[in-house]
């Protein structure tokens, strides 16, 4: 019985140690994704078009990263990055917004 327990404990210890390398790489990948999201969010903020939930997604991604939920953290980081990119696109599209020229001709502003 004791020999079986020691064998099982050794196997579990080895399994835990061997899986540690993969999670470190995963964590690094998530950190990079979060950094990219922060960059996109900051760029959108500089343009005056930061979206409301982008920062929330980044904050939640960091929490999930710390909890070891790498898939969820990556999903949130990618959503935040996407929102940052879309906010910048919106800023560029709205840069020249104004009344249509034909509306000014008829006195509609």
What pLDDT band is residue 109 in, cutting at 50, 70 and 90?
low
Radius of gyration of the chain (CA): 24
Residue 78: inside a domain? yes
CB atoms closer than 10 angstroms to residue 19: 10
Whether residue 80 lies inside any domain: the answer is yes
Give a yes or no: residue 16 inside a domain: no
pTM of the model: 0.70
Is residue 102, in this structure, part of any structural domain at all?
no
pLDDT in tens, 42-61: 999 999 999 999 999 999 99
**CA–CA gap between residue 92 and residue 17 (Å, rounded):** 49
User: 75 lies in which domain range?
Assistant: 23-93
Q: How many domains does the chain have?
A: 1
Q: What share of the chain is helix, strand, coil (3-state, %, to 5)?
A: 80, 0, 20
63 located within any domain: yes
Tokens 């879309």, residue located:
86
Task: For residue 76, give every residue at least 6 positions away whose Cβ sits within 8 Å of its Cβ, in sequence order, or none.
Answer: 57, 58, 60, 61, 64
């Amino acid at each position: 019985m004791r020999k079986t327990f020691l064998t099982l404990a050794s196997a579990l210890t080895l399994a835990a140690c061997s899986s540690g390398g993969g999670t470190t790489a995963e964590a690094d990948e998530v950190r990079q994704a979060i950094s990219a999201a922060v960059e996109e969010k900051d760029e959108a903020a500089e343009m005056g078009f930061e979206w409301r939930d982008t920062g929330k997604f980044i904050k939640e991604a960091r929490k999930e990263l710390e909890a070891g939920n790498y898939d969820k953290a990556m999903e949130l980081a990618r959503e935040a990055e996407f929102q940052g990119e879309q906010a910048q696109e919106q800023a560029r599209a709205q840069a020249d917004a104004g009344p249509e020229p034909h509306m000014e001709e008829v006195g509609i502003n």
